[in-house]
Amino acid sequence: MSYIAGVDIGNSTTEVCVGEVTDRGNVTFLTSASCPTTGTKGTIENVYSVKNALKLAMSRIGRETSDIDLVRLNEAAPVIGDTAMETLTETVITDSSMIGHNPSTPAGAGQAVGEILLIENISRAVPGTAYILASSSEHSYEEVAAVVNQHEEVDIVGIILQADEAVLVENRIHKQVPIIDEVRRIDRLPDGVPAAIEVALPGQTIRMLSNPYGIATLLGLTAEETRTITPIAKSLIGKRSAVVLKTPGGNIHENVLPAGEIYFYGDKNVTISLDEGADKIMAAAEDAGDIRDISGQPDTNVGNMLSRIRTGMSELDKSAEADIRITDILAVDTLAPVLISGALAGETCLEKAVGIAAMVKTQKLPMQEIAAHLTTDLGTDVKVAGVEAVMASLGALTTPGTKLPLAILDMGGGSTDAAIIDESGHVNLTHQAGAGELVSMLIQTELGLSDRHIAEEIKKYPLAKVESLFHMRMENGQMTFVDESIDPRFFGRVVLLTENGLVRIEEEIPMEKIVQVRREAKRKVFVTNAFRALKKVAPDHNLKNISTVVLVGGSAEDFEIPEMLMEAFTDYRIVCGRGNIRGTEGPRNAVATGLVLSYIGEMEG
């Protein structure tokens, strides 16, 4: 009787399964565990996470790692997924020519057009001229209100403040004008230039300054000037308030960056420009057939990006014979917020971008070296055994209700892998670039989040809006009431519903937009990749020749991805769902379980 441990080293997680095997080849699964992978998959740093996972698993049955007779490692495929985002266009504004703004606490409502007048220059005001008064935080709200009330002869039609004091000023002045605050770099406001400001009513958004012709109407722009301010109008869509300036010496220009071309080297060599967009790029990848390598045009965005990915991989395999190749990419169209040069309050403009996940292969990774380290540290036999996708197929077969032939989709952090095992046990497999990490990057980029961690959390958990201290509105519209009052810090905020309680989203983003971006990112990556991968391994490359798909891997635990895939496969009459490895583990632990099962097969062989 022996203790056999299967260890699956993944991009994000290392999983362990321990079984008790008799001399007759019968196995009893005893325990399992997982922990975050240390280092990059397939490198010496993985030793630490393997030991941690083994120790945790054995402690659950009151045993030590020294009791293990054999550790079987997956052949951590020499594949690394990486992601990058490249913006195709960039709006550059010089001399603060036009600037949009969206503070959270404007006051008043309506539009106003006039010359910028700094508060310290109020004495220079000319009767009959409309002015927009600008005040830095050096002047208190009482001072600003007093100046406006004392100079009733000056035609002040709007106010711009540096401090967050719009409502305080509005409550103290004798006239009603739109007031915008939180303009951090108010010292850069040029005195005497034409400006237009707009504040929408509560619950509404601006209409004139989010329309290029509206800006042209208010500021008297020519047709050419109207064309150049279109990016500003676009950046102001959905805002509660805005200010647009026109400086005589200023100019706006759109700088189209050299996005570059992608070169596919496969059954057929294909060249495609990044400007063509994701659909054309993926069509070119399919035209290339079996891809041996991918590179980018030198000294362009995509060329530099692919070069960085290749260089990063070379750090892992520094051997002279290292053969580092990019064998697959997944391109996704998106919008990225770009900081506007010359902005007065850190404003951004959404620009077209392409997100790319790349799959990098090397000749070999030091799996035998990892095994040698573990043998020394654990004092037990460690063997590298089994191709990952084959082991995952064996593990998936322990899901109740499955039989051969069987297709699996292993959706992890860096890659989406597919395999089909037929009645004879033959396995056809593929590795595709793009999985959970690319989804997180798309969510972070499109929502303009500063923290990748919160993007990861948004990917994993459903949302709610706390509308009172005793109820929340869920993202599906359902109202949920609670017995104990909700922490006041969450009142009026969008929150994530995690297993550890509520997590507040700090950015002021509508819940509906977050849900839309999250679901679209998952569709773009997981649904697209599922079809790509299964089509590649399906008999005759026809999805209608697949009857059953089992979803395994970390992303199969997601609360909405399996349902998305089930809907997507409806037309093909494919039975698709989350795996339940050994009837207890859910979609996790497929490879580790397969490694233990394959040991029995070797015994019988």
* Averaged pLDDT for residues 234-238: 76
Is residue 433 within 8 A of residue 328, CB to CB? The reply is: yes
Ranked by mean pLDDT, the top range of 200-204, 221-225, 313-317, 401-405 is 401-405
446-450, 574-578, 581-585: segment of lowest average pLDDT: 446-450
What is the length of the chain? Answer: 605
Q: What is the helix (H) or strand (E) element at residue 423, kind and residue range?
A: none
Per-residue model confidence (pLDDT) at position 92? 43
Could you tell me which residues are beta bridge partners of residue 42?
A: none
Per-residue model confidence (pLDDT) at position 97? 45
Q: What is the helix (H) or strand (E) element at residue 411, kind and residue range?
A: strand 406-411
What does the pLDDT look like over 250-282, one tens digit per residue? 444 444 446 788 999 999 999 998 888 889 999
Average pLDDT in the chain: 85
Per-residue model confidence (pLDDT) at position 251? 46
Per-residue model confidence (pLDDT) at position 239? 80
Q: State the DSSP code for 476.
A: T
Question: Which residues, 6 or more positions from 223, have their beta carbon under 8 angstroms from its beta carbon?
Answer: none
Domains of the chain and any CATH numbers: 1-78+365-400+583-605 (3.30.420.40), 82-88+257-361 (3.90.470.30), 97-251 (3.50.30.70), 402-579 (3.30.420.40)
What does the pLDDT look like over 462-495, one tens digit per residue? 999 999 999 999 999 999 999 899 999 999 999 9
187-201, 539-553, 573-587: segment of lowest average pLDDT: 187-201
Selection from 274, 235, 213, 251 nearest residue 92 by Cα:
251
Given the structure tokens 């997982």, which residue do they identify? 34
Distances (CA, A) of 315 to 39, 112, 318: 12, 58, 6
* Averaged pLDDT for residues 183-207: 82
Per-residue model confidence (pLDDT) at position 269? 96
Would you say residue 24 has pLDDT above 50? yes
Specify the pTM: 0.77
Per-residue model confidence (pLDDT) at position 213? 95
What does the pLDDT look like over 410-425, one tens digit per residue? 888 778 889 999 888 8
Would you say residue 78 has pLDDT above 50? no
Is residue 267 within 8 A of residue 284, CB to CB? The reply is: no
Question: Which residues, 6 or more positions from 351, have their beta carbon under 8 angstroms from its beta carbon?
Answer: 87, 88, 89, 90, 91, 335, 336, 337, 338
Q: In a 3-state reduction of DSSP, which class is residue 9?
A: strand
Extract the tokens encoding 208: 């004139």
Beta strand segments in 412-486, E: 415-421, 427-433, 463-468, 471-474, 479-481
- In sign, the C-alpha dihedral spanning 386, 392, 398, 404 is negative
Residue of higher predicted confidence among 189 and 543: 543
Is residue 3 within 8 A of residue 16, CB to CB? The reply is: no
Residue of higher predicted confidence among 227 and 458: 458
Q: Distance between CA 185 and CA 169 in Å, rounded?
A: 19
Is the link from the previous residue into 405 a cis peptide, with omega within 30 of 0?
yes
Percentage of the chain with pLDDT > 90? 50
Contacts 24+ apart (CB under 8 A), 333-338: 333/277, 333/278, 333/279, 333/524, 334/85, 334/442, 334/445, 334/446, 334/524, 335/445, 335/446, 336/85, 336/87, 336/445, 336/446, 337/445, 337/448, 338/87, 338/90, 338/91
Per-residue model confidence (pLDDT) at position 61? 94
Would you say residue 140 has pLDDT above 70? yes
Q: Distance between CA 192 and CA 198 in Å, rounded?
A: 19
Q: Distance between CA 409 and CA 116 in Å, rounded?
A: 61
Split at pLDDT 50, 70, 90, the class of 317 is low
Percentage of the chain with pLDDT > 70? 87
* Averaged pLDDT for residues 393-405: 92
Would you say residue 93 has pLDDT above 50? no
Residue of higher predicted confidence among 30 and 104: 30
Given the structure tokens 């057009």, which residue do they identify? 113
What does the pLDDT look like over 505-522, one tens digit per residue? 998 899 999 999 999 999
Per-residue model confidence (pLDDT) at position 341? 55
DSSP-derived secondary structure for 480-541: EE-SSPPPGGGTTSEEEEETTEEEE--S---HHHHHHHHHHHHIIIIIHHHHHHHHHHSGGG
Q: Distance between CA 389 and CA 456 in Å, rounded?
A: 26
Q: Distance between CA 192 and CA 133 in Å, rounded?
A: 10
Per-residue model confidence (pLDDT) at position 158? 94
Per-residue model confidence (pLDDT) at position 88? 53
- State the Cα angle at 228 between 226 and 234, rounded to 5°: 85
Q: Distance between CA 428 and CA 170 in Å, rounded?
A: 70
Burial class (CB in 10 A: 0-12, 13-18, 19+), 158: buried
Per-residue model confidence (pLDDT) at position 253? 46
Would you say residue 304 has pLDDT above 90? no
DSSP-derived secondary structure for 155-217: EEEEEEESSS-HHHHHTT-SS---EE---TTGGGPPTT-EEEEEEPPTT---SSTTSHHHHHH
At 335, the amino acid letter reads L
Per-residue model confidence (pLDDT) at position 365? 60
Would you say residue 406 has pLDDT above 90? yes
